[in-house]
Every structure is written in structure tokens, then in C-alpha cells.
């Protein structure tokens, strides 16, 4: 693997694709693009999608220092501040209509976290103190309204009264707490701490790391459990391969940002265990890519786009921490090769969402929807350029 290949994909494929989705008339970015690359100008605009786009352009600018990337980040930021933030109750909405009016006013902790992630990155890119102030306002929302003494709650009505958690529940269960939300709160707080080194945010990161160790991580299986009730009882025998390999390097990132030697030592067995189990249980040695998940004894062998992106980073991170374990480097190289051969859409340069075991994907899969954005694949490129340079 070479940094120049990741940079070429970022600059020649991903950035040009997403540049075309800028909505000049209504702000933000188009919320849906079909398999042929045609956007729907009147599609709903997910706030998660627009937050992730703001993070993408802000982070790409920090790496490449090209002014046009900062201009795109400015455009994304204006939409988030002008339309996604609730001036009455605080927080960000779930989704907006194409014209920027509110579509779904549910407040979800996961969604607040991604807005913090994006605003922190934009502050680092632009130096605008207002962006950091907005990030801290959302941090206070999460800490004051979205958590209890045992951790973080998930879904709320517009005024932050509790709501059911359909947005982040899957596999036939209704979860009151999820590993996924906790992971992305950690990710957001790590970016906020990187931007400003607040002691309060640092303490929040340590608290989340403790939750992962005490409540979420299963040391016998070397996996993170996925869905929980209020008391952290696991609701389903599910192993999410993508979330485990993603958690391995995001937990490591949180420890690194803190620069806390005690926590680095404390979390090291978990970081290593997650990568080890992902390689052992999920790496498909025929397709040379990562399977999706295992529920009970049934393995879902679809190759999901974001899982592959996180696997390249996760396995390369594991190799950097353990250079003698060359199998992790080989896995990262083979998954990147799989991505280039099967996942990157030849016409658009964006990624195909799901590749079945026979490597013949459904040709009608949309290229963009509220959950499909340049965050995972863009971040893979940015991370790998930095790590390989």
C-alpha cells in the first residue's frame, strides 16, 4: 500500500463526486443519488449525512490545504447552523426537507455526536470560534439531557423527553442503549478534545472508555456486544464485525488524543482483542474482505462498503501496534485491493454499498442516501495517507 494511491482516489474520485452534490439553491447537499449517479434535488436531507459531509471537507482541507475544500466546508457549515440546529430546544434535528425545513424533529444522541464531530473538524480547518461554541453547546446537550448515571440514552422527542429507539435498533430488537451510539460519542468527543483540550471533555472520554471496558466489551469473545437494555443486559447474540474493527482503532484514537498513559495501558488488551477477533472470525480468506456480521451461528457474508473502509484502517492500526503480526498488514492490503476491484463504482468513483458473496452486486443500489456518505471511505483515505506518509 502506498499513500499516493489513497490520495489519488480521494482527489480524483471521492472529492469530485461529492462536489457535484452541492445544492446551491437550497443549501447543504442533495440527500439521494441513484445508481446511475443522478441526484434527486427534492430528497430528504439527513442531518447525519450533512454532518458527515462537513467533517469530510473540513478534514480533507486540513490534509490537502486546497482552498476549494474549505469553501465546500463553509457551505456545509452554513446549512448545519442555519437549518439543522434547533434554536428553541437545542440540539440538531434528525432530517430536513430538501428546502431546509424540518422533516423529522427527533433528537438522537448519535446525531448530536456527529454534529460535534463535524463542528470540531470545521473549527480545526477554519479557526472559526463560533463553530467550536456550537460544538460545546451540543456537548452540553448530550451531557445534561442525553445521559443518566449509567451511561448514555439514545432517542428523544424534539424537547428531549424520551422516545423509542427505532433509529438505532436492528435485528428484531428494540435497544435502550447501543454500542454504536457510545462509539460515536467517543469519536466525537475525541475530535472535540483534539480541537480544544478541555478537561471536562477529557473526563467524559475516560468515562466512556470505562463503559466500554466494564459494560460493552466481552473479554471472553473479544467483541463488543451490540444492543442492550437499560442495565446493559445483552439483547441478542450478535457480533458486528465492522463495528468491532472500527472500535479497535477509535478506542485507540481516544486514548492517543488523551495522552493518558494509564488509560493507554488499561485499554490495550481490548484494542488488541477486538482486532484479533475481527481477523479470526470475520476475515473472508477467499474474497479477502470482511464479512458483515454473525447472528447466532449464521454469518452474513455480504461485504458492506463501510465495513471494508474501517477494516483497512483497523487492521493497519493493529499492525502498527504489533509490527510482528504481518497478517494484519496483509489483511489491510488485501481488503484495499478488494475495494479497488469490486467496491469502487467505475462510472462515478463513489462506492457500491453492498457486495454479495458472488461479487455480483445489485446494480440498482443508490450511491447516496441518508446513511451513505463520504465519511467512512473518505476517512479511510485521509487516515491511510497520514499513516503511510
Q: What are the backbone angles phi and psi of residue 91, rounded to the nearest 5°?
A: 85, 180
C-alpha cell at 96: 430536513
Whole-number pLDDT of residue 303: 98
pLDDT, averaged per 10 consecutive residues of the chain (389 residues), comes to 97 98 98 97 98 98 98 98 98 98 98 98 98 98 96 97 91 94 98 97 98 98 97 97 98 96 96 98 96 96 98 98 97 98 97 95 96 97 98
284 burial type by CB count under 10 A (0-12 exposed, 13-18 middle, 19+ buried)? middle
Structural domain boundaries, residue 384: 3-388
Residue 46 parent element (H or E):
strand 45-46
Domain of residue 280, CATH code = 1.50.10.10
Whole-number pLDDT of residue 170: 86
Report how many helices (DSSP H) and strands (DSSP E) the chain contains, helices first: 13, 18
Q: What is the pTM of this model?
A: 0.97
Whole-number pLDDT of residue 1: 87
Total domains, the chain: 1
Amino acid at each position: 500500500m502506498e499513500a499516493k494511491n489513497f490520495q489519488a482516489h480521494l482527489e480524483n474520485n471521492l472529492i469530485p463526486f461529492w462536489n457535484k452534490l452541492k445544492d446551491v439553491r437550497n443549501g447543504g447537499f442533495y440527500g439521494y443519488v441513484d445508481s446511475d449517479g443522478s441526484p434527486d434535488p427534492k430528497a430528504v436531507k439527513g442531518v447525519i449525512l450533512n454532518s458527515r459531509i462537513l467533517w469530510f471537507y473540513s478534514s480533507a482541507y486540513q490534509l490537502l490545504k486546497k482552498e476549494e475544500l474549505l469553501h465546500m466546508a463553509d457551505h456545509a457549515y452554513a446549512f448545519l447552523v442555519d437549518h439543522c440546529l434547533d434554536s428553541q430546544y437545542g440540539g440538531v434535528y434528525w432530517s430536513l426537507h430538501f428546502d431546509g425545513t424540518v422533516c423529522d424533529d427527533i433528537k438522537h444522541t448519535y446525531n448530536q455526536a456527529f454534529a460535534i464531530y463535524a463542528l470540531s473538524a470545521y473549527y480545526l480547518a477554519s479557526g472559526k470560534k463560533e463553530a467550536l461554541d456550537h460544538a460545546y453547546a451540543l456537548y452540553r446537550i448530550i451531557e445534561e439531557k442525553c445521559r443518566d448515571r449509567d451511561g448514555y440514552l439514545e432517542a428523544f422527542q424534539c424537547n428531549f423527553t424520551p422516545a423509542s429507539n427505532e433509529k438505532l435498533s436492528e435485528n428484531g430488537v428494540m435497544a435502550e442503549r447501543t454500542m454504536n451510539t457510545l462509539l460515536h460519542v467517543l469519536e466525537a468527543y475525541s475530535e472535540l478534545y483534539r480541537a480544544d483540550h478541555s478537561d471536562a471533555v477529557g473526563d467524559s472520554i475516560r468515562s466512556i472508555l470505562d463503559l466500554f471496558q466494564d459494560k460493552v466489551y466481552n473479554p471472553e469473545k473479544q467483541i463488543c456486544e451490540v444492543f442492550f437494555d437499560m442495565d446493559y443486559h445483552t439483547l441478542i447474540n450478535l457480533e458486528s464485525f465492522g463495528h468491532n474493527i472500527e472500535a479497535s482503532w477509535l478506542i485507540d484514537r481516544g486514548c492517543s488524543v488523551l495522552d493518558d498513559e494509564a488509560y493507554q495501558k488499561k485499554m490495550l488488551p481490548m484494542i488488541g482483542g477486538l482486532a484479533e477477533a475481527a481477523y479470526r472470525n470475520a476475515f473472508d480468506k477467499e474474497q479477502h474482505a470482511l464479512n458483515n456480521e454473525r447472528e447466532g451461528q449464521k454469518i452474513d457474508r455480504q461485504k458492506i462498503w463501510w465495513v471494508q473502509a474501517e477494516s483497512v484502517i483497523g487492521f493497519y492500526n493493529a499492525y502498527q501496534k504489533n509490527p510482528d503480526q504481518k497478517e494484519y498488514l496483509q489483511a489491510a492490503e488485501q481488503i484495499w485491493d478488494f475495494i479497488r476491484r469490486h467496491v469502487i463504482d467505475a462510472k462515478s468513483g463513489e462506492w457500491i454499498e453492498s457486495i454479495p458473496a458472488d461479487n455480483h452486486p445489485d446494480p440498482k443500489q443508490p450511491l447516496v442516501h441518508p446513511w451513505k456518505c463520504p465519511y467512512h471511505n473518505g476517512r479511510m483515505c485521509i487516515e491511510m495517507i497520514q499513516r503511510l506518509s
